[in-house]
Structure 1
Amino acid sequence: MPTYHYRCKNCGYDFTKEQSFSDEPIRVCPKCGQEQVRKVYSAVPIEFKGHGFYRTDGASSSKSSSSK
């Protein structure tokens, strides 16, 4: 189940909650009770593995193939 990060715009309280994709987002702050909670989005780490992701992974150049 994914974990979501939330922040209250009213009091600044940060918290995380494990929720299903079908669950409604949290709107009421558990600390101050105001309906000011929003999801916080951040960059997702990506790891490229295998061939084809780097500039050097392309077709063989004539320099490397002609040297014997």
Structure 2
Amino acid sequence: MPTYAYACKDCSHAFEIQQSFSDNSLSVCPECSGNLRKKFNSVGVVFKGSGFYRTDSRDTKSTSTVPAAGKSESPASTPAAAPAPAAAASATS
């Protein structure tokens, strides 16, 4: 179950509580019966390690040191010079 943080607008009482996704948000302070507001925290998921790049979610127009996919020219895409099969067969006869 996720943990939610609340703070009272009237008495500044702050607390955390575990609630289900289907539960309604709290609206009454348990200390002074004032109005509560839900506090938002940072995201609890952090992607680290190889395979996750800082530039993955950015606009492609921004400057980046990583080349865009499909725009790099690889040496494997050029045909290599190979001996003709007929020439190799006549040399062994």
When normalised by structure 1's length, the TM-score is 0.69
The structure 1 segments of at least 4 consecutive aligned residues displaced by more than 6 Å after TM superposition are: none
| Pairing 1:17-28 to 2, within 5 Å after superposition | 17-28=17-28
Structure 1: runs of 5 or more not aligned? 60-68
Structure 2: runs of 5 or more not aligned? 56-65, 68-93
Measure the CA separation in 2 of the matches of 1:18 and 1:31.
Answer: 18
State the structure with more CA Rg: 2
| Equivalent residue, structure 1, for 2:38 | 39
Aligned length: 57
**CA separation of 1:52 and 1:26: change in aligned 2, threshold 3 A:** closer
Higher strand proportion: 1
**CA separation of 1:52 and 1:12: change in aligned 2, threshold 3 A:** closer
Q: Deviations over 1:32-60 (max 9, x none)?
A: 012x10110022252322324156xx56x
RMSD of Structure 2 on Structure 1 (CA): 2.2
